[in-house]
Amino acid sequence: MGAKILNIKNHFTHLGIVSIEKLNKGWSGDEKFILTDDKGKRYLLRLVDIKKKERKIKEYELIERCDSAGVPVQKPLEHGALDDKYYILVEWIDGAEASELLPALTSQQQYDLGVEAGEYLRRIHALPNGQPESQWEEKFNRKIDSKIRMYEQCAYKYDKGHLFIEYIENHRHLLDDREQVPHHGDYHCGNMIIDDELDLHIIDFNRHDVGELWEEFNRIVWCAGRSSRFAAGRVDGYFDGHVPDDFWKLLLLYISTNTLSSLPWGVPFGEKQIEVFMNQAKEILSWYDDMNTVVPSWYRENK
């Protein structure tokens, strides 16, 4: 690690870096470091294997485009090769993770920040996008088949897991003829920072992809679990208060699909993570009254 720190410091001599701290937080496979210059300014350095260079360049370009579109992101500074790695360097944002801070805020503050998050997501989805590789129904049906298989082969099962599968099978037709747009890829309150002025910032674009607009809400379960007001605001902000009926039906399809694969994904991380997903599945089914409604209680109760 000492040699790597030295190489990083030497590479960024133009920034006057005086300290480098490894950052172990998060689920991504990126190596992350906090760099501090001689004036106290901080930066975030993300490193990946050089073989992933092209994907990292696309991530950097997406952050640039979001910055230009007025989405409050970590300002992109530079990217390039560093030994056998490829890096992107962005400005550090001081503040607290939204998932940690939201419960301490007033109900109105939570909702207003959710509205901001929804508006920023709409700006991301409005960015120009190239022709997708395949039709959405083909792409996502393959994903559904894979995730159902993962769940069926998993040693653990949800108490009412069949309800997720039944809903998915009865609503695949909703995937037909759907537009695809640039995705943040992991859009939820764990990837948002609230600064001292209560301004919201969007971080961690490393799971970026291209997909159907409303699939980007599949991780809103993490937001609703921390703040139902924030989650409701996200939806209202994205749709400017006019939520289409089809959104709720399609959202439940995406949440059901994601919930099925979460359990087998969590198994390698041990019993604690398995328990997290077991409890989340119960919570989701309570929001949807065991699939007897498509509008979740966290939204109905906040209107």
Q: What is the mean pLDDT of residues 197-213?
A: 96
pLDDT band at 283, cuts 50/70/90?
A: very high
Selection from 178, 188, 221 nearest residue 121 by Cα? 188
Q: What is the 3-state secondary structure (H, E, C) of 181-239?
A: EEECCCCCHHHEEECCCCCEEECCCCCCEEEEHHHHHCCHHHHHHHCHHHHHHHHHHHH
Give the residue, 180 or 9, on which the prediction is more confident.
Answer: 180
pLDDT digits (tens, 9 = 90+) for 144-183: 999 999 999 999 999 999 999 999 999 999 999 999 999 9
Mean pLDDT for the chain? Answer: 95
Q: What is the mean pLDDT of residues 127-155?
A: 93
Residues 235, 224: contact at Cβ < 8 Å? Answer: no
Residue 1 pLDDT > 60: no
What token pair was written down for 97?
Answer: 């993770």
Task: Report the relative pairing of strands 31-37 and 209-212 from DSSP bridges.
Answer: unpaired
Q: Which domains occur in the chain, in start order?
A: 2-91 (3.30.200.20), 96-300 (3.90.1200.10)
* pTM over 0.85, yes/no: yes
Q: Which pLDDT does position 29 carry in this prediction?
A: 80
Residue 201: Cβ within 10 Å count: 18
Residue 244 pLDDT > 90: yes
pLDDT band at 28, cuts 50/70/90?
A: confident
Place of tokens 């439940």: 252
Task: List Cα–Cα distances, 272 to 25, 59, 266, 275, in angstroms.
Answer: 17, 31, 9, 5
Q: Which pLDDT does position 302 carry in this prediction?
A: 83
Q: Which pLDDT does position 133 carry in this prediction?
A: 75
Give the residue, 28 or 184, on which the prediction is more confident.
Answer: 184
What token pair was written down for 265?
Answer: 């994904």
First-to-final CA distance of the chain: 52
Residues 256, 148: contact at Cβ < 8 Å? Answer: no
* Helix (H/G/I), strand (E/B), else coil: 135: coil
**Residue 81 to residue 129: CA distance in whole angstroms:** 26
pLDDT band at 3, cuts 50/70/90?
A: low
Residue 76 pLDDT > 90: yes
Q: Is 137 exposed, middle or buried (0-12, 13-18, 19+ CB in 10 A)?
A: middle
